Amino acid sequence: MKKLLVMICMMFGCVFATKANGDKSSKAVAAARANNLSDQMIRGLRLNNFQSKKVREINLQVAEQVTAIEQQHANNQKKIDELCKSVYAERDQFLENVLSTVQYNDYFGDRKVYKAADQKFVASLNNQNNAGSVAVADNATADINVN
C-alpha cells in the first residue's frame, strides 16, 4: 500500500514538474524568438537605441502571444495562421508609431522575410529541443538576408 501511495505521489510530482517546466520553456522560447527577430530588425532597419528598445518590447509581447497561440492550437495550422494574423497586424500598428516612414516602409516590404526568419528560428529551436537539448539558444541567428 505504501509503495502504491509513493508511486502515485511521484507520478503527480512528475506531472506538475513537467507542467511548470513547460511554462518556463514557452517563455524562454518566446524571449529567444523575440531577441532573434529584434536583432534582425535592428540591423536591417538601422534602428537607434530608443527604437531598438521599443522594437524589443513589441516583439517580446508578440512572440509571447504567438507562442501561446501555437501551443494552444498545435494541431490546427489554419487556426494558428488566422489568430496570428491579427497579432501581426497589431504589431504593424505599434511599429508604425515607433519607426520612421522610411524604416516602416522597409519593414512593411520585408514582413514576409522577417516572418520566414522567425519560423526558421523556431524550427531550429524545436529541433534542438527534440534532439534532447535542454538550453534554449539565446544567440542563435537565422541565415536569412534581410535586405
106: in domain: yes
Q: pLDDT value at position 48? A: 96
50: in domain: yes
15: in domain: no
Low-confidence stretches of the chain (pLDDT beneath 70):
1-24, 130-147
In total, how many domains does the chain have? 1
Quote the domain boundaries for residue 72: 25-130
Tell the burial category of 50 from Cβ atoms under 10 Å away from its Cβ (0-12, 13-18, 19+).
exposed
Q: pLDDT value at position 26? A: 83
137: in domain: no
Q: Cβ contacts of residue 36 below 8 Å, gap of 6+?
A: 117, 118, 121, 140, 141, 142
Q: pLDDT value at position 60? A: 96
Q: pLDDT value at position 3? A: 59
145: in domain: no
Q: pLDDT value at position 141? A: 43
1: in domain: no
Find how far residue 98's CA is from the centre of its chain. 20
Distances in whole angstroms, Cα of residue 86 to Cα of each of 18, 59, 80: 31, 14, 10
140: in domain: no
Grid cell digits, residue 15: 506531472
Q: pLDDT value at position 45? A: 95
Give the integer Cα–Cα distance in Å for 6 and 2: 6
Give the integer Cα–Cα distance in Å for 32 and 63: 9
Question: Helix 101-109 to helix 2-45 angle, to the nearest 10 degrees?
Answer: 120
- Scanning the chain, the segments in alpha helix (DSSP H) are 2-45, 49-72, 77-98, 101-109, 111-130
Q: pLDDT value at position 122? A: 87
9: in domain: no
Q: pLDDT value at position 62? A: 95
